[in-house]
Amino acid sequence: MFTPKTERIESLMADHLTTLKQMEGLLSGNVNMYIDYANIKPWSTKLGWHVDLKRLKQFLSSFDNIQSVKIYAGTLVGDKESEDFIKELKSYQYYDIRTKPVKIMKFPIEAASIPNDSTAIIKQFIKSTLIKKFDIETVEFLNTKFLEMNKAGIYCIEDRKCNFDVEVGRDMLLDYKSNSIDTYALWSGDSDFADPIEQLLADGKKVILFATARRVARELNDLTKSGLKIFDIQKIREFVCWPKEMKCKRGPASGVPKL
């Protein structure tokens, strides 16, 4: 059952009754939710708006049958913004936070010591199957660009990695073994979750994917034939987006508080 936790949410209900009824139907029985933050954060580029995790917490807590909401987010150790973000999430006292240090991988790009037609540097960033399609001019052009970066003082490229696919899949299956959850709601569109989802569906469990149009992997779309339900988060934008990204702001004259 949906019972609004804030006046803001209550003020939005009248315009979103169909969506809320749909969510109540999807989130049946005891529900556990799994939010892979590294996957949903980039959605803002495609959507043009951001998921506000405080507002999301207020919205999800309005459903009285959601038992747990696990959020998976990496911590960039030593980075104040990253560490403060994790502290803020913990302060909400609603989310079950799963975090681990972000790995920083370094890739050398010193091009002066390799032949101009070598793929030694390129193959660190591009799959070999694609490199094989390159002509020699393309390889030489890319190595020339690396040399230009070297002249500018750049000899190494850093990449950050913090993948939670194993942890999410493990938690879903552990929750299944407890035999107390009816519906599993996953916020991601990553194909790596296809196996645990397929297993849950095969065992008669209900799985809901919260995602956005055209951001769901083919392997997950294929599972809709086996019962996977996909809910487009655009439908709940007004409930969970940043305040400045609301489509409209109704003032006191309409009897509704400003948002």
Query: Which pLDDT tens digits describe the chain residue by residue (259 residues)?
Result: 899 999 999 999 999 999 999 999 999 999 999 999 988 888 888 889 999 999 999 999 999 999 999 999 999 999 999 999 999 999 999 999 999 999 999 999 999 999 999 999 999 999 999 999 999 999 999 999 999 999 999 999 999 999 999 999 999 989 999 888 999 999 998 898 999 999 999 999 999 999 987 778 999 999 999 999 999 999 999 999 999 998 754 433 333 333 3
Q: Would residue 229 count as lying in a domain?
A: yes
Same domain, 95 and 121: no
Q: Would residue 225 count as lying in a domain?
A: yes
Q: Would residue 259 count as lying in a domain?
A: no
Q: Would residue 25 count as lying in a domain?
A: yes
**Domain housing 155:** 103-161
Same domain, 14 and 137: no
Same domain, 18 and 95: yes
Domain boundary among 161, 196, 229: 161
Domain boundary among 125, 145, 161: 161
Q: Would residue 193 count as lying in a domain?
A: yes
DSSP state letters, 197-240: HHHHHHTT-EEEEEE-TT-S-HHHHHGGGGT-EEEEGGGGHHHH
Q: Would residue 199 count as lying in a domain?
A: yes
Q: Would residue 153 count as lying in a domain?
A: yes
Within 8 A by CB and 6+ apart from 173, the residues are 196, 199, 200
Q: Would residue 1 count as lying in a domain?
A: no
Q: Tell me how many domains the chain contains.
A: 2
